[in-house]
Amino acid sequence: MGELRLMKGNEVLAEAAIRCGCDGYFGYPITPQSEVMETLMARQPWNETGMTVLQAESEVASINMLYGAAATGKKVMTSSSSPGISLMAEGISYIAGAELPCLIVNVQRGGPGLGTIQPSQADYFQAVKGGGHGDYKMIVLAPSSVQEMNDFVDLGFELAFKYRNPAMILADGAIGQMMEKVELADFKPRWTKEEIIEKHGKWATTGKPASRKKNIVTSLEMDSSRMEENNLRFQEKYKKMEVEDVRYEAIKCDDADFVIVAFGTSSRVCLKAVEIARAKGLKVGLLRPITLFPFPNKIIKELARKAAGFLSVEMSAGQMVEDIKLAVYEAGSNARVDHFGRMGGIIPTPTEVVDALEEKFSWELSYGVKRSY
């Protein structure tokens, strides 16, 4: 067993970065994730592992620093919160277009605009549908505990380098600020220059030897046919992610007539909601997507063959619900899909979730059959 500590979600992001052999962090403070940089500055990892920690002059500067450092094959990351990620969107598109691995953390706060510093999940579309310009995807991991905030740093880097693609940890302010017991990972040494050349020398700008052509890192391609080839290659890569790296947790779904789908903080609330509903005699299960992209379409399609309804519970006006509807439609099911959420930084209660399920699916509960659209 690894070292056990009581830590905030934001603090453990910093500790996990140091321990997984991260080479550099470039960020800019914004509530509710400022403790990430504060913890790194307090830990002074440059004296311990040689890791670079730099506060940039803005989010735009930090994402471009990330682009440059990632081009050398190093493990690099940044973190921010919703408005800051919006400022990074152009750079994230460039990174995806240049096929560079890196880790981006979004500890979401309420919007739109400056909004509130309270937790939210309203950046789902921005994260899973790209957010910037062009046809690109990020790998998106959604932690629901402080332990997963720790675990997903190393996993995020692993997937980012597997696919040469930016990965995002999409957390929220509640997970970032809460304290829980966490088992920390053992220290991994940073890659040496020789290891980087061996692992990533085919694309990384590590210095040109006489044995190969120079590596050029860019998202620019003026030849339209070549640009289309690039895009087709990207799409094949995203399809491979959907085959090989979908992650989810299904709880009491085997006999469920109704499936609650929720991620992050909402899934913690819904776990208790399932207990309350079951105590009332309702066969309710919980599906927790761990990867928001790739999305767990296959399991939803399987559940849609027997479930009467799906309730998407989100701290937003309803965004993930659209992906659930698409999966149910593709399954050819007439299971109904609805949404319940709170906004403005308010976290729903388990009782509110059960009440919403009983209200929105009152017809199915009364007659015990699926209702067609």
Segment 68-85, tens digit of pLDDT: 999 999 999 999 999 999
258 Cβ partners below 8 Å, 6+ apart? 277, 282, 283, 284, 285, 307, 308, 309, 310, 311, 357, 361, 364
What would the mean pLDDT of 134-148 be, rounded to a whole number?
Answer: 97
Residue 113, domain member (yes or no): yes
Distance CA 260, CA 46 (A): 45
Whether residue 173 contacts residue 118, with contact meaning beta carbons closer than 8 Å, is answered with yes
The rounded percent of the chain whose pLDDT value lies above 70 is: 98
Q: pLDDT, tens digit, for every residue of 77-107?
A: 999 999 999 999 999 999 999 999 999 999 9
Whether residue 72 contacts residue 176, with contact meaning beta carbons closer than 8 Å, is answered with no
CATH number, position 320: 3.40.50.920
> Which of the listed residues 141, 157, 183 is the one where a domain comes to its end?
183
Mean of the per-residue pLDDT values for the chain?
96
This prediction has a pTM of: 0.96
What is the helix (H) or strand (E) element at residue 15, kind and residue range? Answer: helix 9-19
- β-bridge pairing 291-293 and 24-27: unpaired
CATH number, position 89: 3.40.50.970
What integer pLDDT is reported at residue 106 of this predicted model?
98
Q: pLDDT, tens digit, for every residue of 307-366?
A: 999 999 999 999 999 999 999 999 999 999 999 999 999 999 999 999 999 999 998 888
Count CB neighbours of 224 within 10 A.
Answer: 8
Can the peptide bond before residue 143 be classed as cis, meaning omega within 30 degrees of 0?
A: no
> Which of the listed residues 183, 202, 226 is the one where a domain comes to its end?
183
10 and 125 housed in the same domain: yes
Distance CA 270, CA 260 (A): 7
Residue 304, pLDDT > 80, answer: yes
179 and 252 housed in the same domain: no
What integer pLDDT is reported at residue 370 of this predicted model?
63
What would the mean pLDDT of 242-247 be, rounded to a whole number?
Answer: 98
Q: pLDDT, tens digit, for every residue of 251-268?
A: 999 999 999 999 999 999
Residue 98, domain member (yes or no): yes
Distance CA 289, CA 22 (A): 26
Distance CA 311, CA 145 (A): 22
266 and 352 housed in the same domain: yes
What would the mean pLDDT of 230-245 be, rounded to a whole number?
Answer: 98
> Which of the listed residues 149, 183, 217 is the one where a domain comes to its end?
183
257 and 145 housed in the same domain: no
**For the chain, how many structural domains are there in total?**
2
Per DSSP, the three-state class of 314 is strand
What is the helix (H) or strand (E) element at residue 368, kind and residue range? Answer: none
367 Cβ partners below 8 Å, 6+ apart? none
Residue 208, domain member (yes or no): no
Of 256, 259, 316, which is closest to residue 119 (Cα–Cα)? 316
175 and 265 housed in the same domain: no
Residue 167, pLDDT > 50, answer: yes
Residue 373, pLDDT > 50, answer: no
| Domain hosting residue 177, numbered range | 4-183
Residue 223, domain member (yes or no): no
Residue 232, pLDDT > 50, answer: yes
Q: How confident is the model at residue 288 (pLDDT cuts 50, 70, 90)?
A: very high
